[in-house]
Amino acid sequence: MFTKILIANRGEIACRVAATARRMGIKTVAVYSEADANAKHVAVCDEAVLIGPAAAKESYLRGEKIIAVAKATGAQAIHPGYGFLSENAEFADACAEAGLVFIGPPASAMRAMGSKSAAKQLMEKANVPLVPGYHGEQQDADFLHAQADKIGYPVLLKASAGGGGKGMRVIENSAQFKDALASCKREAISSFGDDKVLAEKYLQRPRHIEIQVFADTLGNCIYLFERDCSVQRRHQKVLEEAPAPNMPPERRAAMGEAAVAAAKAVGYVGAGTVEFIANQDGSFYFMEMNTRLQVEHPVTEMITGTDLVEWQLRVAAGEPLPKQQHELAINGHSIEARIYAENPEKGFLPSIGTLRHMETPSAVAFELGGAVNLPAGVRIDSGVRAGDAISPFYDPMIAKLIVWGADRKQALARMAQALSQYQIVGLATNIAFLKRLVEGQAFSTADLDTGLIERNHDALFPAAHAAPDAALALAAVSLIESEKDRSAAQSGANAADPWGQALGWRMNHPYVRALSFGDEFTAAAQPYGVNVSYRAADWLFSVGTAQPQVLSLMSQDGHDFSIKLGEQAVHGTVRRDGDMLHVFTNGAHYPLAYNDPMAHAGETEAEGGRLTAPMPGKVVAVLAAKGQEVKKGDALVIMEAMKMEHTIAAPHDGVVDEVLYGVGDQVADGAPLLAFKTA
């Protein structure tokens, strides 16, 4: 077995590999970019070496530099994780030439499966089921058009070298073919440097089911059952589960055996995933093979009681597979949700910033390689900590939340509960969206297909609604109590002086206080007007012109509050971040902007920060000039971050006083982009 390995990756997968290596007594070397100097994966490894600037092409994709670090630190092998160099055949070859073990499949297997068209020709010879289509080298437009007509519409065009949903077009009829082909080829050449395409029958309401395979250097190859990854957005997975719901044993065996045949056809070694597209009638067809460990591998570990990273290390060291096919069995059900820094309501726009506060669900450590029937059945794989930044340079994943249950019903309940307990402040996340998804009828009843999110759009993206009185009451109590604490700390020896206390004491009449909370995330057109009337032991609370209710504080533990509003007991957490009060209650998150009249006296809406950069990025267009009069909603500046554009619009009618950045300038998160005057 190896005594030291280098992990050529970052984030949660680097931390995941390091955890297994530590348990096995193997020392680890981390590599990191300048942007990751303080990253979690750097801290959890035994050694860490800087390899370049933030951009991946100048750091994590520099294979020759990574190999040099491995040699210099005495590492015997390199684990590539997933992404970056994990499926780079040239890098695998370079490792071998340098006398290092590449913890992954042979370069020949990567090359064989790297081209979708070539892989399907190989699978056809191995009798692996294929979707009816054309996978050859002939790329003449008229020839491809004739093939599509022969297959029958709808037809799916796919870039042969593609992935991640790029270079894909669904063609509904023959008249659409010419334009769709040209568009597909343009995107393919731009994304992959190769405009070859293949044409296949487009399946209606298909499921995405993949099989985990594992092979050693001694000729053994097995499958560790299946994962259902049907819930996707833009061809990227959102939820994964194992085993696949409603999977008959006969079909499971047939898919597993087909996956093993696919792996053997290319002389595979190590962990791999054979992906199939499955019809609702149970028929299934080969799509592609991912020649690496998958993001969703934890659900397989949870139901099989295995540590797939340990298996990778043992196989790469020349050992036989730890188990044979007859020794594997499915135990319970597991679901994984990917927690991302993104805004689903804004087209899943990545959210860049600092994790100012992060509280995770109560997790019971999953003992990799041990029993899976844990009391809580919750596992969190993450590469970030509270205080870390989600940068524009890498994937905005915060964590993978994995749950296990004795059956799917219990796993669903645990996932919903765990999502309710997740608290993040500092950037937008997809947590609320995931909760709606898990609790929605389609997913909970296993009515699965790759179009589930689009089919259930209205339920998953409901109309905005106003924050409930309970959330506003928690925000008000949090403010009042924090003011009491602050005044008590400031008064010191004069603590008994009533004039130095923030208790709302008045000599003749009760103190009625008006609070204002803004909320851009709900249907509230105007700020919430909250009235709080101070009394001896409690308050009278009302929103707008509603009838006042008695509000009292039952208990407080730091940021956690238990209050009583009328006859309703309310429990929640309130975290303050500048002017924002983040209220977490009843499984929901309500970001409320406190309009402090003392802190912002005289400021206009624009001066209050409306015209600032929402994330670090580059200015790609300036649409307004100094002195220009603009109307509310007019586009002023366009920024680009993580390959997505964000438009900064005028918050109201006014005049551009000064443009602070030009096209091509890099700007920091929160940087003011323009000076703006109200008309």
Active site residue: 292, 408, 436, 575, which one?
Answer: 292
User: What is the spatial distance between Cα 648 and Cα 637, in angstroms, rounded to a whole number?
Assistant: 5
Instruction: Identify the DSSP state of 653.
Output: S
Cβ-based neighbours of 33, under 8 Å, separated by 6 or more: 10, 50, 51, 52, 53, 54, 55, 56, 58, 59, 60, 393
User: What is the spatial distance between Cα 137 and Cα 502, in angstroms, rounded to a whole number?
Assistant: 78
Radius of gyration of the chain (CA): 28
Q: What angle do CA 173, 178, 181 make, to 5 degrees?
A: 100
Nearest Cα neighbor of 9 from 366, 367, 309, 426 is 309
Other CB atoms within a 10 A radius of the CB of residue 653 amount to 13
Q: Cis peptide leading into 154, omega within 30 of 0?
A: yes
User: What is the spatial distance between Cα 78 and Cα 104, in angstroms, rounded to a whole number?
Assistant: 9
Q: Is 292 a catalytic residue?
A: yes
Question: Considering all CA atoms of the chain, what is the largest pairwise distance in Å, rounded to the nearest integer?
Answer: 92
The encoded tokens of residue 169 equal 């077009």
Cβ-based neighbours of 329, under 8 Å, separated by 6 or more: 304
Question: Mind giving me the DSSP string for 18-79?
Answer: HHHHHHTT-EEEEEEEGGGTT-HHHHHSSEEEEEE-SSGGGTTT-HHHHHHHHHHHT--EEE
Question: Mind giving me the DSSP string for 566-625?
Answer: TTEEEEEEEEEETTEEEEEETTEEEEEEE--TTTTTT--TIIIIITB-SSSEEEEEE---
**C-alpha distances in angstroms, 420 versus 361, 396, 415, 573?**
8, 21, 9, 12
User: What is the spatial distance between Cα 429 and Cα 343, in angstroms, rounded to a whole number?
Assistant: 6
User: What is the spatial distance between Cα 501 and Cα 643, in angstroms, rounded to a whole number?
Assistant: 52
| CB contact at 8 A, 205 and 449 | yes
Q: Are strands 512-518 and 528-534 parallel, antiparallel or unpaired?
A: antiparallel
User: What is the spatial distance between Cα 87 and Cα 107, in angstroms, rounded to a whole number?
Assistant: 8
User: What is the spatial distance between Cα 153 and Cα 319, in angstroms, rounded to a whole number?
Assistant: 49
Nearest Cα neighbor of 571 from 421, 409, 674, 424 is 421
Tell me which H or E stretch contains 11.
helix 11-23
User: What is the spatial distance between Cα 157 and Cα 405, in angstroms, rounded to a whole number?
Assistant: 39
Nearest Cα neighbor of 313 from 26, 68, 106 is 26
Cβ-based neighbours of 471, under 8 Å, separated by 6 or more: 572, 583, 585, 588, 590, 592
The encoded tokens of residue 570 equal 């309310």
User: What is the spatial distance between Cα 623 and Cα 607, in angstroms, rounded to a whole number?
Assistant: 19
User: What is the spatial distance between Cα 120 and Cα 116, in angstroms, rounded to a whole number?
Assistant: 6
Three-state SS for 378-401 is: EEEEECCCCCCEECCCCCCEEEEE
Active site residues: 292
